[in-house]
Amino acid sequence: MGFAPGLVAALILLLGDGPPATRGAEVVLRGKVVTLAAAIKELGVDVKPDPDTTRGEAVLLGEDRAITPLFRDDASRALFLDERLRDRRVELRGRRFSGVPYLQVSSFRVENEGSWQTPEYFCSVCAITERYPKICPCCQGPMELRWRSEHR
């Protein structure tokens, strides 16, 4: 059960004279995560930035067709590293700061097999779960993408 679009719009409107810029405002944004290069191409923006800067940058291409860049950190890193999470419907929860175009992602869900699910990376040997793809910190083996239906 997601947020109603009206509530999302109200949250975004609150940014204008809402909380201090340092704290940010909670938002829920939907769309799909693509590389900046793909977003520019899809929108037909007439710019030619250096490809090596746009290929690796993940952005949200919103349902309103707006590009929102993402701070890359533990919470969002999977969207930068794992192509399987990109170019499909996604719901990002996070914070926006006045005057800052980047979204700080706190959690996200991806539409998978008809429902919103959270991706995670699992080592079946050690039963360890991580938020983004990496070598298992315990056995140094590979970790596999799996989907969790419940929101943590």
Q: Measured from the CB atom, is 100 or 138 closer to Zn ion?
A: 138
Shortest separation between residue 143's beta carbon and Zn ion, angstroms: 7
Shortest separation between residue 109's beta carbon and Zn ion, angstroms: 25
Residue with tokens 């991806």: 110
**Residues 96 and 25: beta-carbon distance below 8 Å:** yes
Site pattern 104..143 for Zn ion (x: CB under 5 A): -------------------x-xx---------x-xx-x--
Segment (H or E) for 60: strand 58-62
**Binders of Zn ion among 64-103, rule CB under 5 A?**
none
Report the alpha-carbon distance of residue 42 to residue 37 in Å, rounded: 9
**Residues 95 and 86: beta-carbon distance below 8 Å:** no
Shortest separation between residue 145's beta carbon and Zn ion, angstroms: 15
**Residues 129 and 97: beta-carbon distance below 8 Å:** no
Q: Measured from the CB atom, is 94 or 119 closer to Zn ion?
A: 119
Could you list the residues that contact Zn ion (CB under 5 A)?
A: 123, 125-126, 136, 138-139, 141
